[in-house]
Structures are given as C-alpha cells and as structure tokens.
C-alpha cells in the first residue's frame, strides 16, 4: 500500500516537512498578531473583573431575550402537539439560567 502512494506521482510530505511549514507560518504571522493583540491585551487587563462579568451575563440575557421574540409557529415547527412543555423558548431560558448563575457566582 505504501508503494502505491509513493508511485502515484504526487510529492509526499513527511511529518517533518509539515512541522517546518507550520513553524515558518507561525514565525511569519507572530509579529503582526503581537502588534495587534498587545494594546488590546493591555486595555483588557486594566478593566476590573466586574466588567467581564457584566459582559458575559449580558450576552446570555440578550440571547435569552432574542429567543423569547421567536414566533410561536417557528418554536412549535415539527411538534406533534403545542403543549407548553414543548415550547423551546422556555427550555432555552431554563438552560441559560445555570450559565448565568455560574458566571454570577464565579465573577464575585
């Protein structure tokens, strides 16, 4: 099987060649990325932890509010009945609440 791969006419790259190429790529983009990330990292490091907590919880709240705006027909699409326990909006809110609680608790 290995002979069939080697005689296919396509150049074969071994693991060392790939590692060298990845290292070259890393070295080529490291300086520009560092120039972009360093000021952002310094600014984010200067912010207090409660700002990160508010941002994280805020994103969860916005996602929950967006889910609540979905139409009833879309939520029950494909559902055999329209009973309350099949309302995906309620399930999504129920799943977001533990995440909000964890971020609230760990952010203190």
10-residue averages of pLDDT along the chain (108 residues): 54 69 87 89 92 94 96 87 88 95 88
Sign of the C-alpha dihedral computed for residues 57, 62, 63 and 67 taken in this order: positive
Distance CA 73, CA 50 (A): 39
* Domain boundaries, position 19: 1-46
Whether residue 29 is found in the same domain as residue 67:
no
CA 81/CA 87 separation, integer angstroms: 10
Cβ atoms within 10 Å of 57's Cβ, excluding its own: 17
According to the model, what pLDDT value does residue 15 have?
Answer: 59
Question: How far apart are the C-alpha atoms of 85 and 89, rounded to whole Å?
Answer: 10
41 in the same domain as 53 = no
7 and 57 assigned to the same domain: no
Q: What is the pLDDT of residue 66?
A: 96
pLDDT at 13: 59
Q: How many domains does the structure of the chain reveal?
A: 2
69 and 95 part of one domain: yes
Q: Is the pTM of this model over 0.75?
A: no
Q: What is the pLDDT, as a whole number, of residue 8?
A: 59
User: Are 22 and 59 contained in the same domain?
Assistant: no
Q: Are residues 65 and 89 in the same domain?
A: yes
């Amino acid at each position: 099987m290995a002979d069939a791969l080697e005689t296919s006419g396509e150049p074969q790259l071994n693991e060392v060649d790939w590692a060298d190429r990845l290292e070259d790529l890393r070295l080529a983009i490291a300086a520009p990325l560092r120039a972009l990330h360093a000021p952002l990292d310094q600014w984010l490091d200067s912010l207090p932890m409660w700002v990160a907590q508010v941002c994280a919880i805020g994103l969860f709240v916005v996602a929950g509010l967006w889910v609540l705006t979905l139409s009833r027909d879309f939520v029950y699409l494909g559902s055999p009945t329209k009973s309350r326990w099949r309302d995906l909006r309620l399930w999504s809110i129920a799943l977001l609440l533990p995440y909000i609680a964890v971020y609230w608790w760990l952010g203190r």
